[in-house]
A and B are shown apart, each in its own frame.
Chain A
Amino acid sequence: MSRQGPLLTLGSVVVVAGLFLYGNAVAAKPGKTPAAVPTPAATSSAAPASSAPLHALYAGRSSGDQVTIAIAINGKKAAADLNAGLASEVSLQGSVTGNLVTLTSSSGTRLTGSVSGADMFGTVSGFLGQSFPFSAAQAVVQAVYAGRSSNGDVTLAVSTDGDQAVAYVCNGHTIEAWLQGSVKGNQVNLAGNKGASLTGSLSGLAMFGMVTPSAGLSLPFSAELSPHPAGVFQARITVNGLATRIGWAVLPDGTQLGVAVIGSTKQPAPPLDLSDGAFTLDGSTFTAAQVAGNANVVSP
């Protein structure tokens, strides 16, 4: 027995590990289906309305590593950004057929890719006079969409993480709301306190919808998939003994709009240093943090 003990221990570990691996392979379901491989049935007009378009984001690089590539797929539509550094960014639009993605830009850049599971492989031609192959992997969609209401009254930033999302919307002095909820397919549904809500749909690299920062005030908005420094930022501090929560919606150009709720009074948020999240209030320096899409912001 004393000779077999260690082997039995080893064996039981292997068996348990095998069971877990098997359980994962068989039982676990992905949060979202690997992108954009519509079945032939989905292309027929008889496809039920419930087969919502799939939303997926692929991120990758050219084979030479010089060009970063972001491709967003929404059902049969797709959009992409190619970026080779400063001032050499190209946006492409196109479509998805089966597992093939074809995108073009007005300047003649062309991207073709094929989706294979969680990866996309393809070729880019006519980008800064060059053609090259690329590969991209499906990203866990941690993205920031930032924009404004159509009348410009409120600024908002939405942070997504897989099927979860949070948003901050404000007008910089009196109106503000924290929202959180889900991303299902290309539909975004967020809710906050006191009737605040946001419903949006993802289309290409943008999100369009209706935001209601407070009951009775509904505004159409558009937001773009935005790189750093865009995002939702938050700070919870104590000012003169009053619990204070400050939110900022930051646009990709660094424009920021925020509201500080000190106790129960609202005032414009202090400017946020986007390089390190620092801000000054009442002579003291504090730090704000970027809020991830899976954070709890409504009733934390």
Chain B
Amino acid sequence: MTSQPAAVRPAPDQYTKPLLIALLSGCLVALALGLYGGLHHPTHYALDIAGFSSPLYAKAWLTTIAVVFAVVQLVTGMRINRPDAPRAMTIVHRWSGRIAILLTVPVIIHCLYALGFQTYSIRVLAHCVLGCIFYGAFVAKMLSLVNRETMPKWVVPVLGGVVFVSLIGLWATSSLWLFATKGVHG
């Protein structure tokens, strides 16, 4: 934001509390999702999204599109805090993020409602854990943004990085796996 980061860095007591609240909320969300996924009895069915050969493919494509928006997030997020960043970049960053996260919602609901937290293979276990981390980090990032003027500069990029990396991991353990084993189609 400024050429004198040292001067702007707020005293710890200005951001410790909001940051802790944001991080703890994220942890609680991740924990809650994991517990719900583990305790709710999987139904093995859920609402279908029209136009795909199976719910699996609908989810795979939604996640893939979300990943595309997430890459936009990464690219814009890396430049957004530069002094010369155009205003449009901020708008693109925010809206690509909103679209990406909303695209993942039907997917996670299907995951949680129909399948639950499963551990029968490394891929599946990694996917479930990453899913919890993803939403936890997302919530933490949103909450830390509320007080971003007082947050240290690393907070939002780090949380954004966790969101991005976990989404890529989610995509790799589900969509990529599906496309690789069952073929790329609708």
A interface residues with partner B (beta carbon < 8 Å) = 3, 5-7, 9-10, 12-13, 16-17, 20-21, 23-25, 27-31, 117-119, 140, 162
Contact = CB atoms under 8 A, between A and B. Distances in A.
A287 to B, nearest CB: 14
Nearest to A296: B53
A3 B101 CA distance: 19
B46 A28 contact: yes
B106 interface: yes
B108 A5 contact: no
B78 interface: no
B21 to A, nearest CB: 13
A143 to B, nearest CB: 15
A29 B45 CA distance: 7
B153 interface: no
A242 to B, nearest CB: 23
Interface string B91-113: 00010011001100110111001
Contacts of A118: 41
Given A9-B97, A17-B108, A140-B44, A24 B102 contact: no
Contact of A3 (B45, B94, B138, B146): B146
Grouping DSSP codes into helix (H, G, I), strand (E, B) and loop, the A interface class, with mixed when no group exceeds half, is: helix
Contacts, number: 61
B109 A6 contact: no
A184 B148 CA distance: 57
Contacts of B137: none
A12 B146 contact: no
B47 A6 contact: no
B145 interface: yes
Contacts of B44: 30-31, 140, 162
Contacts of B113: 21, 24-25
Interface residues of B, number: 26
B142 A7 contact: yes
Contacts of A119: 41
Contacts of B147: 3
A23 B145 contact: no
Contact of B109 (A12, A24, A117): A24
A13 B102 contact: yes
A27 B109 CA distance: 14
Interface in B59-100: 94, 97-98
Contacts of A16: 102, 105
Interface string B18-34: 00000000000000000
Given A27-B47, A31-B45, A140-B44, A9 B105 contact: no
Given A12-B98, A16-B102, A5 B145 contact: yes
Contacts of B101: 9, 13
A6 B145 contact: yes
Given A13-B105, A17-B108, A117 B142 contact: no
B143 interface: yes
A163 to B, nearest CB: 11
Interface string B36-62: 000001011111000000000000000
A24 B46 contact: yes
B105 A17 contact: yes
B139 interface: yes
A10 B142 contact: yes
Contacts of A27: 47
Contacts of B108: 17
A28 B41 CA distance: 15
B145 to A, nearest CB: 4
Given A6-B145, A16-B105, A25-B113, 15 more contacts: A3-B146, A6-B146, A10-B143, A12-B102, A13-B102, A13-B138, A20-B105, A21-B109, A24-B47, A24-B109, A24-B113, A29-B45, A30-B44, A31-B45, A140-B44
Contacts of A17: 105, 108-109
B29 to A, nearest CB: 10
13 contacts: A6-B146, A12-B98, A13-B101, A20-B47, A20-B109, A21-B109, A24-B47, A24-B109, A24-B114, A27-B47, A29-B45, A30-B45, A140-B44
Nearest to B36: A21
Contacts of B43: 24, 28, 30
Contacts of B41: 117-119
A277 to B, nearest CB: 15
Nearest to A117: B41
